[in-house]
Each structure stands twice: as structure tokens, then as C-alpha cells.
Structure 1
Amino acid sequence: MTYLVVLDDAGAAGLTFGELAAAVAEQWAVAKPVVDLGALDRSRVLEWEARTAEGGVVEVAVNKELTCFFLDGTPEGSAEVMVWVRGLVDDAVGLTVCDDGYSFDFALDPGMSPLQVAHEL
């Protein structure tokens, strides 16, 4: 299943590409910048596979503006990555989770556990 984590106000998040890349490398040690940043159809600048506590893999990508994280994985594994993303962003910045069909959405609040997030999915 594909999920999106959308930052309500990316400018307030204070997250830079370099900081995100360093955080990904520290957590998972495997991330690759997307090479063709100039292509009009290429909106993602960083992609990686996140190994989860359950032993699964969540494929993660981030758009150029660092305003949307795309996650493809199980609800439990994706929830783990979503909580990690929440920890990167200032608590004052709202994050919204939805699926790729926009059939649901909810606020990803500071302090939510992966179990709580998975229950919402």
C-alpha cells in the first residue's frame, strides 16, 4: 500500500535536503539521491529502503520541496517510518497522513507510537 506524509508548512519545518540525507544515512545507511533532478516528470529527490523492526522493507521517497514523503509498505512498517519522519520535523508543524487515493487522512501528532499510527491506517 502507498501512503503519503504531507507537511502542512514545509518552510516552518526547517528541514534541509542535507539534514534529511544525513538522518536517513544514520538510521538506515542506504539512501540514493535521484540523479535526474531536472526532468519535469521527476519530482522525487531522495529514495531509500527502510528496514523495519518487523523485518520488512518500506520503500520511501521524498519530493523536491521536502513537503511529501511517499511510503510503500505494510501498514505496520509504514507506521514505523511515519513516526521517524514525525521526529525529524518541529512539533509545531502539522503532518497529515493519507493513502495515494486520498480515501482517508489523519493528523500525525507528536508522540504517536507506531502502533497508534498503524491503527489509523
Structure 2
Amino acid sequence: MKNFIFSICIALLLSSCYQTERNCNDFKTGTFEFTYEINGESKTGKSIRADTLSVDYYDNKIDTFTIRWVTECEFIGRKLHPIDYADSKPIQMKIISTTADSYLLEYSLLEDQKTKKRGTVKKIK
């Protein structure tokens, strides 16, 4: 029994030392590809992001967002030309983890956790 408890303690200690890799600076600017779903259909979109501006191409639409980085791995996007009040709500985006050419993104309307979703974004340039 002591060996079992000791093994559990060691496993917990080792797993608590693991930290997810986040090289967010590598993904602040560039051209990105992402997958999204509309009415159960999976589609691919593209985003070109500079320091403070992002142009998104999806579903035969083009949207431009202003970008404000809150932390190294989190930014707020706001449409530059919203159609209505609902369209003007800012979107909070947080990079959860990174790989060499992609990142896991968690996003939602600002301060509305009910809308939270996750997706993977791949850097293509």
C-alpha cells in the first residue's frame, strides 16, 4: 500500500511540473488558416494579421478587425465596420498552446463565457 501511495505522489509531482508550450510571439503576425463550422458543414477560412489589424476571409466574406494585445498570448478583436450592435461586440481570443506551425485557440465574445469555443489555427506564412 505504501508503494502505491508513493507511486501516486511521484506521478502527481511529475505531472505538475509539465507546462504547455506557448510561443505566442511567433503567432502575433502572419497569414493563418482556420477551420470553422456553419450549419454542421466544415469550412476553411484565412486570416492575415499585422500588429493591430486582422483581415479575415471566410464564407465568401471579408471582415477587418482591430487587434489589441492584452497579454503575450491574449488579444481582443473588434470589427472595424460592424453591421449592427451584435456584430460590434468584441471577441476575446486566447492562445492555449502552440506547436511549430499552429496554435490552439480559445475564443468567445468578450465577457460571455457561454459563447466560448476552441479551434486550431495554422500559420501558413
Q: TM-score, normalised by structure 2?
A: 0.37
Structure having the higher Rg: 2
Q: Which has the higher strand share?
A: 2
Q: TM-score, normalised by structure 1?
A: 0.38
